[in-house]
């Protein structure tokens, strides 16, 4: 197991997780087996990606209690340190669990609580990404940008790929968790009209390109100047959006795949191949191309963007 994480009081919002050393993009900061695992109710299967998050609310309390009862006294005591002291075991589980998805983008097959990982707080501009490693039966947290020793580490509790705006993100989060997000991006976006306008534009471009990529007439579409401008503006807007040094952001490789598919469908396959291979390099750095998770992600992108 890998563990470069230290947990201590943040002084602002309870406990938080911090890196114990300098790390580079692609490094693994933590690999951890779950402290306890709860199976979803039978009707929780086959739900959509976002629905599955809300569906987690339907985990029967009795299933959570049943699993907690199986823990040793030491682990029960550890569990009670996660989240707020006044939380019950059930609410602690609900606010701190991870979805266990053997394949990314599919409904979770279980929900897990982790001794270290469950302390990692949310940010809409996270510096970590995580995935379930089926072979190791553990969750793996990967570094997205350079991190220095002592720096707080964050994940995104929301799927990051839809480029939601601050109000949407806050509403989605508040549906699930009892907090209003005041991460650096939310603060900047809510107080600065320029940042908000940029996010808004990025989201519009993203949705427009998703619609184009999924339209049926893709094969007959010619690659117009308008479309070329749209793809160019989209990639430029994403590059501007990413925090400095965050070259491994998963949204970037999804964007490359999206652009690749539009180029490929529009009579410019060379450019499509170029962007597709750029995306593949990023997937490789993040997940390892030959790891199960890397394979799933590559397959998913190929299907999603019809490559
Ligand atoms: Zn936020």
CA 76–ligand 1 middle distance (angstroms):
31
φ/ψ of residue 5, rounded to 5: -125, 135
CA of 171 to the centre of ligand 1 (A): 11
Cα(77) to ligand 1 centroid in Å equals 31
Cα–ligand 1 centroid distance for 104 (angstroms): 22
pLDDT of residue 140: 94
Per-position DSSP letters for the chain, written without gaps between them: --B-EEEEE-SSSSEEEEESS-B-TT-EEEEE--SEEEPPPGGGTT--HHHHHHHGGGS-HHHHHHHHHTS-HHHHHHHHHSS-TT--HHHHHHHH-EEE-SSTTS--SEEEE-TTGGGPEE-SS-SEEEEEETTTTEEEEEE-S-B-TT-B-EE-SS-STT---HHHHHHHHHHHSSS----HHHHHHHH-HHHHHHHHHHHHHHHHHHHHHHSGGGGG----HHHHHHHHHHHHHHHHHSPTT-TT-HHHHHHHHHHHHHHHHTT-HHHHHHHHHHHHHHHHHHH-TTSHHHHHHHHHHHHHTT-
Q: Report pLDDT for 134.
A: 84
- pLDDT tens series, the chain, 307 aa: 899 999 999 888 788 999 999 998 889 999 999 999 998 777 655 444 444 455 555 677 888 889 999 999 999 888 888 866 667 888 888 888 898 887 766 777 888 999 999 999 999 989 999 999 888 899 999 998 899 999 999 999 887 777 888 999 999 888 877 788 999 989 999 999 988 888 888 889 988 888 888 775 555 555 567 788 888 899 988 888 877 777 788 888 989 999 998 888 887 888 889 999 999 988 888 887 667 888 888 888 888 787 7
Q: What pLDDT is attached to residue 192? A: 92
Q: Find out whether 128 and 151 touch, Cβ atoms under 8 Å.
A: no
Q: What is the pLDDT of residues 116-128, one digit of tens each?
A: 999 999 999 899 9
Distance 291 CA to ligand 1 centre (A): 30
Q: Cα(46) to centroid of ligand 1, in Å?
A: 28
Determine the pLDDT at residue 47.
43
Q: How many angstroms does the Cα of residue 257 sit away from the middle of ligand 1?
A: 25
Question: 216 C-alpha vs ligand 1 centroid, how far in Å?
Answer: 35
Which pLDDT does position 200 carry in this prediction?
87
pLDDT value at residue 177: 77
Q: What is residue 10's predicted lDDT score, i.e. its pLDDT?
A: 87
Q: What is the pLDDT of residue 58?
A: 65
What the chain holds in terms of domains, given with CATH numbers, is 5-179 (2.170.270.10), 187-304 (no CATH)
Which pTM does this prediction carry? 0.86
CA–chain centroid gap for 224, Å, is 33
pLDDT of residue 29: 96
CA distance 72 to 67: 11
């Amino acid at each position: 197991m890998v563990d470069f994480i230290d947990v201590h009081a943040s002084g602002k919002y309870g406990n938080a997780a911090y890196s114990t050393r300098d790390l580079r993009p692609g490094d693994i900061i933590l690999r951890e087996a779950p402290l306890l695992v709860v199976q979803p109710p039978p009707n929780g299967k086959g739900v959509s990606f976002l629905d599955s998050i809300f569906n987690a609310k339907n985990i029967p309390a009795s299933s959570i209690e049943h699993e907690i009862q199986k823990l040793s006294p030491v682990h029960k005591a550890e569990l009670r340190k996660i989240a707020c002291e006044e939380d019950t075991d059930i609410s602690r589980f609900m606010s701190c669990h991870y979805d266990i998805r053997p394949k990314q983008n599919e409904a979770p097959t279980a929900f897990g609580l982790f001794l270290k990982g469950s302390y990692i707080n949310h940010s809409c501009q996270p510096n970590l990404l995580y995935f379930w490693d089926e072979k190791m039966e553990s969750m793996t947290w990967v570094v997205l940008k350079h991190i220095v020793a002592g720096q707080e580490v964050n994940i995104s509790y929301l799927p990051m790929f839809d480029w939601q705006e601050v109000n949407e993100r806050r509403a989605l989060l508040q549906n699930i968790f009892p907090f209003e997000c005041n991460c650096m991006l939310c603060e900047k976006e809510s107080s600065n009209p320029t940042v908000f306008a940029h996010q808004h534009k990025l989201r519009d471009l993203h949705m427009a390109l998703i619609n184009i990529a999924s339209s049926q007439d893709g094969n007959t579409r010619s690659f117009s100047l308008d479309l070329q401008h749209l793809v160019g503006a989209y990639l430029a807007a994403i590059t501007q959006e990413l925090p400095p040094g965050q070259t491994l952001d998963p949204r970037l490789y999804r964007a490359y795949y999206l652009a690749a598919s539009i180029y490929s469908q529009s009579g410019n396959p060379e450019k499509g191949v170029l962007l597709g291979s750029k995306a593949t390099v990023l997937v490789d750095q993040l997940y390892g191309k030959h790891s199960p998770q890397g394979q799933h992600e590559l397959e998913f992108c190929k299907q999603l963007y019809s490559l």
